[in-house]
């Protein structure tokens, strides 16, 4: 599977390729962080609306709750995280932690065939120029 190509396309659609850094680089999962420079962001009413549009633009369908839990379980499996209490609400917990420190934050998840895509964005409300993104693709 050419995950590098898949994630590269999504990162480019966010105008975030320049300066992007991998934070996870495994055979079955890649995650990249960068800064979104896409001027189209201002055309949307919310982070969620923008991210969902980017997911659709890249040919993915939006995930339902069942798909979301499957994605979290797959991430835990790939990362080797085991235990009695797997983080089944990891995306929501991460969002809440950013909001607690004064950041605007949201995420959107997509699925296409056997590929799962997650995009999150956060930025300090006082510095809207630096919109940080993390893009994750896995199968």
113 in Cβ contact with 1 (< 8 Å): no
* CA gap 99, 97 in Å, rounded: 5
* CA gap 94, 112 in Å, rounded: 24
User: Could you report the per-residue pLDDT of 97-121, keeping only the tens digit for each?
Assistant: 889 998 999 999 999 999 999 999 9
Quick one: how far is CA 135 from the chain centroid? 4
User: Could you report the per-residue pLDDT of 34-81, keeping only the tens digit for each?
Assistant: 999 999 999 999 999 999 999 999 999 999 999 998 998 899 899 887
* CA gap 120, 109 in Å, rounded: 9
DSSP track, 2-46: -HHHHHHHHHHHTT--TT-EEEEEETTEEEEEEEE--GGGGGSSS
pLDDT at position 32 is: 96
pLDDT category, 1, cuts 50, 70, 90? Answer: low
């Amino acid at each position: 599977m050419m995950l590098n190509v898949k994630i590269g396309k999504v990162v480019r659609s966010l105008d975030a390729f320049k300066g992007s850094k991998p934070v996870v680089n495994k055979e079955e999962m890649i995650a990249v962080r960068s800064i979104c420079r896409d001027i189209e962001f201002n055309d949307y009413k919310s982070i969620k609306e923008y991210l969902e549009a980017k997911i659709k633009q890249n040919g993915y369908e939006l995930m339902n709750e069942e798909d979301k839990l499957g994605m979290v379980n797959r991430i835990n499996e790939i990362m080797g995280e085991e235990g009695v209490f797997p983080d089944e609400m990891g995306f929501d917990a991460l969002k809440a932690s950013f909001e607690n420190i004064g950041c605007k934050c949201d995420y959107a998840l997509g699925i296409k065939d056997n590929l799962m895509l997650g995009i999150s964005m956060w930025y300090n409300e006082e510095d809207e120029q630096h919109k940080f993104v993390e893009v994750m693709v896995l199968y």
